[in-house]
Each structure stands twice: as structure tokens, then as C-alpha cells.
């Protein structure tokens, strides 16, 4: 067993059992996906804490720090949209 050992595509297709829809099953339901999305947006709130700590040191640039942290939260939320 090598570190860069690969498995042939034909073997992967044979193991999956079918080629329809890539042979993958849906495992996450609507509730799971919604919870994952909400959790990621709430978890991205750590970027807002960076803005709060920057308030002590940024001075007038605090507006920019909140814009940057808001963009970070937006992109994290869009990753799961």
C-alpha cells in the first residue's frame, strides 16, 4: 500500500453498483441542509468578533472592519447556499 496508490475508475464504477446519477445516494434531507446552512452562517460570526476587537485599535476604520467581517459572513453563508 503506497501513499499515492490509486484505484481504477472501472473498479469504482463496479463497486458503486450503478452508473445512474453517479451511483451516489442522497443522505442529507432538507432539514439537515437547512441546519447546516444556518450553522455555517452563525459559525461565521467569529469574523464579527474580529471587528469587535478591532474597535479597540482601528479607530475611524471600524466601519471598514465591519464591512470586511460582513463580507466574510456573506461568503461563508453563500458557500452553503
Tens-digit pLDDT profile for residues 46-72: 766 766 776 677 777 777 777 887 888
Would residue 67 count as lying in a domain?
Answer: yes
What's the structural domain count of the chain? Answer: 1
pTM given for the model: 0.34
In the structure grid, which three cell numbers stand for residue 47, read together?
469574523
Would residue 63 count as lying in a domain?
Answer: yes
Higher pLDDT, 20 or 9: 9
Tens-digit pLDDT profile for residues 16-45: 766 565 556 677 888 988 888 887 777 767
Would residue 64 count as lying in a domain?
Answer: yes
Would residue 50 count as lying in a domain?
Answer: yes
Would residue 60 count as lying in a domain?
Answer: yes
Would residue 3 count as lying in a domain?
Answer: no
Would residue 22 count as lying in a domain?
Answer: no
Would residue 4 count as lying in a domain?
Answer: no
Question: Which residues span the domain enclosing 78?
Answer: 46-81
Amino acid at each position: 500500500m503506497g501513499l499515492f496508490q490509486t484505484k481504477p475508475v472501472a473498479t469504482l464504477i463496479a463497486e458503486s453498483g450503478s452508473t445512474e446519477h453517479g451511483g451516489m445516494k442522497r443522505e442529507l434531507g432538507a432539514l439537515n441542509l437547512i441546519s447546516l446552512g444556518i450553522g455555517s452562517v452563525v459559525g461565521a460570526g467569529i469574523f464579527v468578533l474580529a471587528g469587535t476587537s478591532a474597535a479597540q485599535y482601528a479607530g475611524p476604520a471600524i466601519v471598514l472592519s465591519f464591512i470586511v467581517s460582513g463580507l466574510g459572513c456573506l461568503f461563508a453563508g453563500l458557500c452553503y447556499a
